[in-house]
Structure 1
Amino acid sequence: MSPRPPHTDAASQAGPAKPGQVKSITSVSNPMIKEIRALATQRKRRKEAGLFVAEGLKLITDAMQADWPIRTLVFGAEVREQPMVAQAAAKARARGATVLDVNRAVLTAITRRDNPQMVVGVFEQQWFDTERIDPARGPLWIGLDTIRDPGNLGTIIRTADAVGADGIILIGDTTDPFAVEAVRATMGSIFHMPIARMTRETFLKWRKSWPGAVIGTHLEGSIDYRKAAYTDPTLLLMGTEQSGLPEEMTAACTQLVRIPQAGQADSLNLAVATGVMLYEIRRDKLVLEG
């Protein structure tokens, strides 16, 4: 285990922490803790600061392995001696991040959970530049129109990563992919999946330059999703949880497909439907190893 670096004591916690410093904090009213809580709960603050919160040692480890810029690492006193936590803290300090050694009350305040994660990180947001989307190099992209549920979005990001998709375009007024609930649902895939964003108007203009198929799912689709021709490059469009793709988005599709259903359910969960589509599109490219 790497040696635990020296840290400031609780008496000095009112002052700002310097980058690379380890600081002990026991008060939930500390300004740094208030800022992390604001990032965890307020989309407006995340947007202003260009930062977000990730909870749990796995997500923190994934982020640093992917070289995401880290600003702050918070860990509970109960786990400070664990080798993986010590290693994460050492890496964060080496990258200029502030490291906070806190008690359970502070972690509970940050995570809003009675049984909080013992490691929390504050990272910089990273958005993929839409001008870098290259169908020749990345032949499978997913467009999500006005998605509202952060859990659904996080699950879609995770599934897109699992099938080897090349990126996701958030279209219109979508939920925040950097909300705590969305980040948690990605299980670390947020750090590996390129995410771009466009207004609907900008997307419809950009779509004209897409050289391949644009596949949309729709209740009025006449093609069974299993019988559609999926050729590279493919852009998969998925609509809102409540009403699906709007008319102008369906008009932008080259094919509208439908997923057959039995039973009494009137629709599939958005994340499930997207997963079904992605695995069908990637059917010939996904093989078991060994």
Structure 2
Amino acid sequence: MLALNLPDPITSAANAEVKRLRALHERKYRRQTGWFLAEGTRICTEAVSLGWRLHRLAFLAGRENDRHVRPLLEALERDGGRALPMTESLLGRISRKDNPQMVLGAFEQRLTTPDARSGRGSPLWVALDRVRDPGNLGTIMRTADATGAEGVILVGDCTDPYSVEAVRASMGAVFNVGIAMM
């Protein structure tokens, strides 16, 4: 087991890292940074196992040795990311939920093209025209993943596939399917 060098727990909403993570709810900031938020140990662990780069990991202070959190912290250290232990109330402020997950990860966005191949073996892409609701988009990504589709193609003015709501509704499928925009 690696010895982790963790900072002191964050206790203030005025902390720059807390502000940065909260700003990821805004499309403008997600575009500017190229990052997005994912919530929960299962989804973050799945993303890391699929090779997604974890930039920040906000987690409940005191849980660094939890069997679900520890591997994420080790992956974060390998990737050169930053661990952010904090209070439950700050996790709630970032996630905008009353009962937040114990873990929030900031990942790098990935866009692809329909001619790219992930190795899933499927030539199927799901084309979506002007999808406005992030919950619907997340559900469609989940369905595309379940059918083995290579990915989704977003045509026209669609909602952001990396919005917190779309990622939440995708239940991790955002990490499994390609996302192309036209």
TM-score (norm: length of structure 2): 0.93
| Mapped contact 1:4–1:86 kept (Cα < 8 A) | no
1:179 is aligned to 2:163: yes
* Paired residue secondary structure (2:68): helix
- For 1:28, the equivalent position in structure 2 comes to 13
* Paired residue secondary structure (1:181): helix
1:144 is aligned to 2:148: no
Which structure's CA Rg is the greater one?
1
- For 1:54, the equivalent position in structure 2 comes to 38
Instruction: Give, in whole Å, the separation in 1 of the partners of 2:177 and 2:11.
Output: 36
- For 2:83, the equivalent position in structure 1 comes to 99
Amino acid at match of 1:36: L
- For 1:73, the equivalent position in structure 2 comes to 57
Amino acid at match of 1:44: K
Amino acid at match of 1:32: E
Q: Which runs of at least 4 in structure 1 moved beyond 2 Å after TM superposition?
A: 6-9, 78-81, 129-133
1:4 Cα deviation from its structure 2 partner: 5.3
1:86 Cα deviation from its structure 2 partner: 1.1
Instruction: Give, in whole Å, the separation in 2 of the partners of 1:175 and 1:28.
Output: 28
- Aligned pairs, number: 180
Instruction: Give, in whole Å, the separation in 2 of the partners of 1:35 and 1:140.
Output: 36
Amino acid at match of 1:145: D
Instruction: Give, in whole Å, the separation in 2 of the partners of 1:123 and 1:98.
Output: 12
Higher relative contact order, chain-length normalized (CA < 8 Å, sep 6+): 2
CA RMSD of aligned residues (A): 1.7
| Mapped contact 2:7–2:85 kept (Cα < 8 A) | no
Q: Report % sequence identity.
A: 45
| Mapped contact 2:55–2:106 kept (Cα < 8 A) | yes
| Mapped contact 2:122–2:148 kept (Cα < 8 A) | no
Instruction: Give, in whole Å, the separation in 2 of the partners of 1:165 and 1:130.
Output: 11
1:173 Cα deviation from its structure 2 partner: 0.4
1:130 Cα deviation from its structure 2 partner: 4.1
1:95 Cα deviation from its structure 2 partner: 1.3
TM-score (norm: length of structure 1): 0.59
| Mapped contact 2:125–2:152 kept (Cα < 8 A) | yes
| Mapped contact 1:130–1:197 kept (Cα < 8 A) | no
The 1:172–1:6 alpha-carbon spacing in structure 2 relative to 1, beyond 3 Å, is same
Q: Which runs of 5+ in 1 are unaligned?
A: 10-23, 199-290
Q: Which runs of 5+ in 2 are unaligned?
A: none
Instruction: Give, in whole Å, the separation in 2 of the partners of 1:59 and 1:4.
Output: 24
Amino acid at match of 2:5: P
- For 1:6, the equivalent position in structure 2 comes to 5
Instruction: Give, in whole Å, the separation in 2 of the partners of 1:139 and 1:82.
Output: 40
- For 1:45, the equivalent position in structure 2 comes to 29
| Mapped contact 2:53–2:107 kept (Cα < 8 A) | yes
1:138 Cα deviation from its structure 2 partner: 3.8
| Mapped contact 1:146–1:174 kept (Cα < 8 A) | yes
